[in-house]
């Protein structure tokens, strides 16, 4: 068993400093993916920088026509929040569907999107709502944030502080779970708002992506039938033990249509 140094920085600046220059350091933002990976020997971090004690990173605020959720806000708190339920119920549903009760009581929004697991739920909401990711250095648009398999636009030492979600006119999320892991075999988030129609897909490829064909169909006709009628190519989708790319390509319009129905 490998020794690990646990750091408890008092400020964002201290946290960033601990990370810079140490390639074997990782931010601990709930640890529901990181700690499991370390236990399996898939991550050999020597230093963990715990973000839990930093002030002002957790919490949910309504700011005009946006909801701003602190990076260290737990999934359970998002799922139960009255403002989220009132203004973006699909986001509350999504947060309440992540992992299991234990995961939701420890895992955080910032930790989830920084990890950028290709089958996790939050990336679908961030991209599907066209949110803005705030860091200790800048603001990053959702479409520019997720860059690949477990990869994001975050630089070394950059720490997510919050995610700002625009309140949509309508939004819905439907997840088709893989039977073993209960991660999304495919998950589809749809929204319609001032920025137009967005359809984000998780679980189906190396990273969350927007399904342009479904977006075009829904932009012309916001209906379950319009979404379902779209045929998608299986190119660039995942084929693995649990599903072929062809099946995933078939599921995306089906789930998009159900998400439209769920959006009301």
Partner 1 sequence: MKADGIGARVTRKEDHRFLTGNGQYTDDISLPRQTYAAFVRSPHAHAKINGVDSASAAAMPGVVAIFTGKDIAASGIGGLPCGWLIHSKDGTPMKEPPHHILAVDKARYVGDQVAVVIAETLEQARAAAEAVSVDYDVLPAVVDTATASKAKASVHDAAADNVCYVWGHGDAAAVDKAIASAHHVSSLDIVNNRLAPNAIEPRAANAAYDKSSDSYTLYVSNQNPHVERLLMCAFVLGIPEHKMRVIAPDVGGGFGSKIFLYAEETVLVWASKRVGRPIKWTADRMEAFLSDAHGRDHVTNVQLAMDANGKFTGMKVTTTANVGAYLSTFASSVPTILYATLLAGQYTTPAIYAEVTAVFTNTSPVDAYRGAGRPEATYVVERIVETAARDMKLDPAEIRRRNFITTFPYATPVGLTYDIGDYPACLDKALKLADYAGFPARQAEAKTRGKLRGIGLSSYIEACGLAPSNVAGALGARAGLFEAGEVRVHPTGKVTVFTGSHSHGQGHETTFAQVVADKLGIPIDDVDIQHGDTGKVLFGMGTYGSRSLAVGGSAIFKAVDKVIAKGKKIAAHLLEAADTDIEFKDGVFKVAGTDKNVPFANVALTAYVPHNYPLDKLEPGLNENAFYDPTNFTYPAGTHICEVEVDPDTGKTQIVNFTAVDDFGNIINPMIVEGQVHGGLAQGIGQALLEGCVYDSESGQLLTATYMDYAMPRADDLPNFQVATHVTPCTHNPLGVKGCGEAGAIGSPAALMNAITHAVGVKDIAMPATSERVWRALQGRA
Task: Decide: is 150 part of the binding site for partner 1 (CB under 8 A).
Answer: no
Q: Are 123 and 152 in contact (CB under 8 A)?
A: no
Options 77-85, 105-113, 145-153, 247-255: segment touching partner 1 (CB under 8 A): 247-255
Task: Tell me the CA distances in angstroms from 66 to 69, 83, 183, one per residue in order.
Answer: 10, 11, 28
Q: For the CB of residue 257, give the shortest distance to partner 1 in the complex, in Å.
A: 8
Contacts of 229 (CB under 8 A, 6+ apart): 217, 253
Helix, strand, coil content of the chain in percent (nearest 5): 35, 25, 40
Q: Are 261 and 224 in contact (CB under 8 A)?
A: yes
Q: Which is nearer to partner 1, 6 or 42 (CB)?
A: 42
Q: Are 95 and 89 in contact (CB under 8 A)?
A: no
Show contacts with partner 1 in window 222-241 (CB under 8 A): 228, 241
d(CA 264, CA 161) in angstroms, rounded, equals 32
Task: Decide: is 12 part of the binding site for partner 1 (CB under 8 A).
Answer: no
Task: Tell me the CA distances in angstroms from 29 to 50, 161, 180, 198, one per residue in order.
Answer: 7, 11, 25, 28
Task: Decide: is 96 part of the binding site for partner 1 (CB under 8 A).
Answer: no
Q: Are 33 and 111 in contact (CB under 8 A)?
A: yes
Task: Decide: is 176 part of the binding site for partner 1 (CB under 8 A).
Answer: yes
Q: Which of 38, 136, 254, 261 binds partner 1 (CB under 8 A)?
A: 254
Q: Which is nearer to partner 1, 55 or 231 (CB)?
A: 231
Task: Decide: is 80 part of the binding site for partner 1 (CB under 8 A).
Answer: no
Q: Which of 127, 211, 217, 243 binds partner 1 (CB under 8 A)?
A: 243
Task: Tell me the CA distances in angstroms from 251 to 12, 150, 181, 202, 237, one per residue in order.
Answer: 42, 23, 18, 12, 12
Task: Decide: is 3 part of the binding site for partner 1 (CB under 8 A).
Answer: no
Q: For the CB of residue 134, give the shortest distance to partner 1 in the complex, in Å.
A: 32
Q: Which is nearer to partner 1, 12 or 35 (CB)?
A: 35
Alpha-carbon torsion 142, 143, 148, 151, what sign?
Answer: negative
Options 18-26, 48-56, 60-68, 176-184: segment touching partner 1 (CB under 8 A): 176-184
d(CA 227, CA 248) in angstroms, rounded, equals 15
Q: For the CB of residue 235, give the shortest distance to partner 1 in the complex, in Å.
A: 18
Task: Decide: is 190 part of the binding site for partner 1 (CB under 8 A).
Answer: no
Q: Which is nearer to partner 1, 23 or 240 (CB)?
A: 240
Q: Which is nearer to partner 1, 127 or 243 (CB)?
A: 243
Q: Which is nearer to partner 1, 153 or 245 (CB)?
A: 245
Q: Which of 21, 55, 64, 179 binds partner 1 (CB under 8 A)?
A: 179
Q: Give me the residues that bind partner 1 (CB under 8 A), please.
A: 1, 176, 178-181, 228, 241-244, 247, 250-251, 254
């Amino acid at each position: 068993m490998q020794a690990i140094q646990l750091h408890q920085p008092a400020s964002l600046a201290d946290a960033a400093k601990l990370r810079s220059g140490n390639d074997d350091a990782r931010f601990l933002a709930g640890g529901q993916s990181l700690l499991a990976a370390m236990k399996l020997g898939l991550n050999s971090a020597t230093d963990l920088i715990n973000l839990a004690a930093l002030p002002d990173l957790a919490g949910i605020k309504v700011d005009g026509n946006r909801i701003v959720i602190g990076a260290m806000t737990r999934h359970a708190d998002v799922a139960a929040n009255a403002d989220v339920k009132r203004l973006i119920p699909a986001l509350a549903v999504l947060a309440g569907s992540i992992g299991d009760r234990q995961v939701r009581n420890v895992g955080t929004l910032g930790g989830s999107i920084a990890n950028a697991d290709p089958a996790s739920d939050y990336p679908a909401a961030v991209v599907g709502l066209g949110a803005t990711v705030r860091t200790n250095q800048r603001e990053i648009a959702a479409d520019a944030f997720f860059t690949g398999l477990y990869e994001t636009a975050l630089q070394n030492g950059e720490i997510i502080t919050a995610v700002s979600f625009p309140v949509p006119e309508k939004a819905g999320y439907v997840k088709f779970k893989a039977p073993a892991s209960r991660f999304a075999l495919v998950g589809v988030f749809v929204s319609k708002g001032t920025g137009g129609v967005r359809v984000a897909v998780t679980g189906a490829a190396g990273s969350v992506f927007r399904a342009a064909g479904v977006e075009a169909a829904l932009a012309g006709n916001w209906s379950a039938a319009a979404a379902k009628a779209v045929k998608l190519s299986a190119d660039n989708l995942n084929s693995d033990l649990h599903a072929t790319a062809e099946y995933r390509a078939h599921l995306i319009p089906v789930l998009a249509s159900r998400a439209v129905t769920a959006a009301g």
